[in-house]
Chains A and B, each alone.
Chain A
């Protein structure tokens, strides 16, 4: 076990995020007062910190089993959610909001997680390298030294002689 968090309780804060490995597992247990969420929907939203409307979060969602009970426990492998083709979808520290909704009932858990894996084996890293290559392709952005029209004409004349 590499970390532990509980809601309500300790862990999962910005200073002490809940650490997970992309190929790890989360062992969980839960208990709710009523069987109100069964058959509802869950969403997990990762806060991107973006100030641009429409890009503030990355969301995942799914259905809550209609037969789910008021309490339970289990083990969830993370590889299915956090890996694509052997690459980590996200690496680093981020804020996540998990919401369960059913017939007007909302259950919300907000916390910070830190996804650990090799940075160079993440989609974000590969994307950054590609963007950096685009930057290099466009890097010569300084104003060009231009010799002026008369000298351009001279150059053209010289080139024709060649």
Chain B
């Protein structure tokens, strides 16, 4: 029987960090203005994507699992 160990909390923080990073890159490279809601939308969308990826993303081999197969 195969089971999947999921990490939604880690996914939340990964998405949040990615969202904050991308939003700040957008501001410094003048893709969007700071004083608008757009950078915050980027943060929220990527945070949600992080959780969704953690819950429904493709499985990956657990560390050390492939060596014993």
Contact = CB atoms under 8 A, between A and B. Distances in A.
Interface in A54-107: 90-95
Which 4 A-B residue pairings sit nearest by Cβ, starting from the closest? A143-B4, A128-B24, A95-B35, A47-B35
Interface residues of B, number: 43
A49 B39 contact: yes
A94 B14 contact: no
B60 A144 contact: yes
Contacts of B10: 138, 141
B45 interface: no
A148 B4 contact: no
B7 A141 contact: yes
B57 to A, nearest CB: 4
Interface string B20-32: 1110110111100
Given A112-B33, A128-B28, 15 more contacts: A47-B34, A49-B34, A93-B33, A94-B35, A131-B17, A132-B17, A135-B18, A141-B10, A141-B53, A141-B57, A145-B60, A146-B5, A147-B2, A147-B62, A159-B68
Interface in A112-134: 112, 114, 119, 122, 124-125, 127-129, 131-132, 134
A95 B10 CA distance: 34
A155 B58 CA distance: 23
How many A residues touch the partner, as a band? 35 or more
Contacts, number: 131
Given A128-B24, A128-B28, A46 B4 contact: no
Interface string B35-69: 11111100000000010011101111110110010
A39 to B, nearest CB: 31
A99 B26 CA distance: 29
A112 to B, nearest CB: 8
B57 A49 contact: no
B51 to A, nearest CB: 9
A95 B27 CA distance: 13
Contacts of B21: 128-129, 131-132, 135
Given A49-B36, A131-B21, A146-B3, A141 B28 contact: no
